[in-house]
Amino acid sequence: MAYNLLKGKRGIISGALDENSIAWKTALKCHEEGAQFVLTNAPVAMRMGKINELAEQCGAQVIPADATSLEDLENLFTKSQEILGGKLDFVLHSIGMSPNVRKGKHYTDLNYDWYLKSIDISALSFHKMLQTADKLDAMNEWGSIVALSYIAAQRTFPDYSDMAQAKAVLESIARSYGYFFAKKNKVRVNTISQSPTKTTAGTGVGGFDVFFDYADKMSPLGNASAEDCANYITVMFSDFTRMVTMQNLMHDGGFSSSGITDELVQELSRGK
Ligand SMILES: NC(=O)c1ccc[n+]([C@@H]2O[C@H](COP(=O)([O-])OP(=O)(O)OC[C@H]3O[C@@H](n4cnc5c(N)ncnc54)[C@H](O)[C@@H]3O)[C@@H](O)[C@H]2O)c1
């Protein structure tokens, strides 16, 4: 059921690679709720061509942008305003990639050039987006900017490797830039810390299936799905969350507040 939560709002949604992407589900939900937006992804991701299917479904245009390139981001924010006919009300940063994770480099044997790339793509790109939007004065008052994080920013998950630092930086950027954007024109900036989700980025982390099942059993509500995340992001883009800013919002079915659950006790008791 649609509620017209985003009627008349304009935005940018990054990171829709395929149907499993959190950004893909978010685009469908924002469309259903009446928003108009531009889709963006890295030029290399365009080669898959999938994003055009989504663009068609949402009546959206696609602007390629490598989120680490200030030039690409300037073009993205400038053209998006031209296409949509005004300033923006929301932006989704749904971008993450670690060459160390992708190439199976252990955390105790990291390649430092790749480490810098992980931080640049997965965290600094968020600052670059915020600073570009700010300098171009591209955001409407009471706009909302969201990036996606993971609880490895606070607790160690060995296979998450250098992405843990990237997420810690990402969350810190939301707090720091959130201050300046709130003062400038009441724009709010938050991160949503999402449950493990079966996407290309998610399943790239070693032992993902076990990780996923463990989190599911450790969360009283179970893991939050990509659709659930899309719903939450939509509410964060709506006028119902105008006073929420500079937060890392846990969207994890209760995982982060749980010590142990009956399901895990049963699992660990087996054979004892
Ligand atoms: N899947 C999970 O378990 C999970 C859990 C918590 C948080 N997250 C976060 O959610 C976000 C979205 O990931 P997802 O799970 O939907 O996976 P995904 O693989 O579908 O999306 C990641 C996106 O990042 C894009 N990207 C990579 N490098 C880029 C660059 N240089 N410029 C622009 N875009 C670039 C990819 O093309 C892709 O579309 C990421 O920040 C991820 O870390 C995912």
Residue listed under structure tokens 């996407």: 199
What distances in angstroms separate CA 249 from CA 36, 90, 114, 219, 234, one per listed residue?
25, 17, 28, 16, 14
Examine residue 1 and state whether it is found in any structural domain, yes or no: no
Examine residue 152 and state whether it is found in any structural domain, yes or no: yes
In the predicted model, is pLDDT for residue 49 greater than 90?
no
Examine residue 5 and state whether it is found in any structural domain, yes or no: no
* CATH number for the domain harbouring residue 173: 3.40.50.720
- The confidence score (pLDDT) of residue 91 equals 99
The closest of 158, 272, 159, 254 to 206, measured between CA atoms, is 159
- 138 Cβ inside 6 Å of ligand 1: no
- 21 Cβ inside 6 Å of ligand 1: yes
pLDDT tens for each residue of 66-93: 999 999 999 999 999 999 999 999 999 9
User: For atom 9 of ligand 1, which residue has the closest CA?
Assistant: 148
The closest of 1, 45, 73, 13 to 233, measured between CA atoms, is 13
Terminal Cα distance for the chain, rounded: 48
Please give the mean pLDDT across all residues of the chain. 96
- The confidence score (pLDDT) of residue 236 equals 98
Residue 140 lies in domain: 10-269
Examine residue 86 and state whether it is found in any structural domain, yes or no: yes
pLDDT tens for each residue of 200-243: 888 888 888 988 999 999 999 999 999 999 999 999 999 999 99
Examine residue 2 and state whether it is found in any structural domain, yes or no: no
Examine residue 164 and state whether it is found in any structural domain, yes or no: yes
Per the structure, the count of domains in the chain is: 1
| pTM, two decimal places | 0.98
Burial code of 21-45, b = ≥16 C-beta within 10 A, e = fewer? bbbbbbbbbbbbbebbbbbbbbeeb
Q: Where are the alpha helices (DSSP H) in 150-207?
A: 163-185, 200-203
- The confidence score (pLDDT) of residue 144 equals 99
Helices 125-135 and 163-185 cross at an angle (nearest 10°) of 20
Q: Residue 234: in which H helix or E strand, if any?
A: helix 226-237
Q: Which residues are catalytic?
A: 150, 160
- The confidence score (pLDDT) of residue 203 equals 87
Q: How far apart are CA 215 and CA 223, in angstroms?
A: 7
Examine residue 3 and state whether it is found in any structural domain, yes or no: no
User: For atom 22 of ligand 1, which residue has the closest CA?
Assistant: 95
Dump strand ranges (E) for the chain: 10-14, 36-40, 61-62, 88-93, 139-149, 188-194, 248-251
Examine residue 4 and state whether it is found in any structural domain, yes or no: no
Average pLDDT over residues 98-110: 96
- The confidence score (pLDDT) of residue 73 equals 98
The closest of 211, 118, 130, 97 to 165, measured between CA atoms, is 118
- The confidence score (pLDDT) of residue 206 equals 81
11 is in an annotated binding site: no
Ligand 1 centroid vs 269 CA: distance in angstroms? 36
